[in-house]
A and B are shown apart, each in its own frame.
Chain A
Amino acid sequence: MLARSALRSKRTVGAVRNGAVHTSKRAASSSSSSADSPFRLNMAGTAATAVAIGSMAWYYHLYGSELHAMTPAEEGLHPAKYPWVHEQYLKTFDHQALRRGFQVYREVCSSCHSLSRIPYRALVGVTHTVDEAKAMAEENEYDSEPNDEGEIEKRPGKLSDYLPNPYKNDEAARAANNGALPPDLSLMVKARHGGCNYIFNLLTGYPEEAPPGVKLADGLNFNPYFPGTGIAMARVLYNELVEYEDGTPATTSQMAKDVVEFLNWAAEPEMDQRKKMGMKVLIIGSALFALSIWVKRYKWAPIKTRKIVYNPPIQAGGKH
């Protein structure tokens, strides 16, 4: 396109020059010059337009295309958007899904990922009953207060204890995972661009084999949604990996959906309450607004309905 417009502009420039030559000749040879012919006027307009369009085209050819600092592979594939029910304004978490999601976390994810900001008491009334949560807490051992000799003994967990970390510290986690640190999942939904969609796509998006030509470092797996496409975590969710208590068929995507919803709860445990509070704010706010309108009418009624009348004094006796 650029070449074509350039050619055209060259041609029109030539035409303009010819026209100029003609006029000078004619002016020299004959004194009678009629009004400028519409052909030459059109030619000038066309040439100017062509130059304008050509320069624009050239500009966009040079600067128009968007620049990316990274290749698509380095950016990672943008996650597909799913219609999460709990993300709607008037919907709560599906607590059965949360319970299933916690089961997936506990049986699958927790072997590498910590969930350090969630205590067992937070699960009470959300996914489990008091007794169930207590029983789960007691399965783990925690440090107790120093005893009389100053020794720290182990005690079974209580409701107030936090979910145990799979590794003692980050270094131990790296050492056990080929140098890669499995991140803490407590706030992961908030911490990643794309939130729930990103994690769901990441968990379910492992292709059976990487596209041809891809070279990954040792110990990395191909996942299109992970920036750089090389992720240390291998695919973990396979059909029927867990057995749900409520008989839901444990397909890969069902488990991923449940665990993502659970992680969303872990990151925003206040969401249900927050939405309820938002609704209360709207209700009370609208009631007060309506009230304010009525109060305004009431207060203004005397002013709006007053009548100002001037009664000129009656001048008895006619004119002076």
Chain B
Amino acid sequence: MGFFDMLEAALPWSTAEAEAPKEEEEKEEESSEESKDEGSEDKEEPEEEEEEEEELEDPKEKFEEVTECKESKACSPAKHHYDECVERVTGADHGKPVDKKHPEEDCVEEFFHLAHCATQCAAPKLWNALK
């Protein structure tokens, strides 16, 4: 935004238009698109196939799971506790001696600590990756 745009925005008689651009331009574009379409159909198909092959990866998952965050040093205590809890709770289902003190234990709190750590760590990276 240049200086004159800012000046214009500050002036009381400036207006904002919500109209579509003039139709003439659109028609030109349409006609040019139509002429292109016939020729480009053959080209597009292989491209689509390629797109299907490489699946989009969600950057949030990528930063939290795959790269660093969950495995990082800062989150290693949380990860350790969560893994330990998972082992303890799922172990009870597989015939291991049941922890009689806490038969109803779940790993929600451990999960919270781990998720909190990972999202905090990934937040700034994620915003750089998104539009």
Contact = CB atoms under 8 A, between A and B. Distances in A.
Interface of A: 71-73, 77-78, 80-83, 97, 124-125, 129-132, 201, 204-205, 207, 211-215, 224, 229, 239-240, 248-254, 257
A211 B57 contact: no
Interface stretch (B15-23, B31-39, B72-80): B15-23
Interface residues of B, number: 36
Q: Which secondary structure dominates where chain B touches chain A? A: helix
B106 A215 contact: yes
Given A132-B20, A239-B57, 11 more contacts: A73-B106, A73-B112, A77-B112, A81-B123, A82-B123, A83-B124, A125-B17, A130-B19, A204-B60, A212-B90, A212-B107
Contacts of B126: 82, 253
B119 A80 contact: yes
Contact of A130 (B16, B20, B86, B104): B20
A73 B109 contact: yes
Contact of B58 (A73, A97, A253): A253
Contact of A213 (B16, B107, B119): B107
A253 B110 CA distance: 24
B65 to A, nearest CB: 9
Contact of A250 (B19, B56, B119): B56
A191 B59 CA distance: 28
A251 B18 contact: no
Contacts of A239: 55-58
A131 B106 contact: no
A130 to B, nearest CB: 5
A77 B17 CA distance: 44
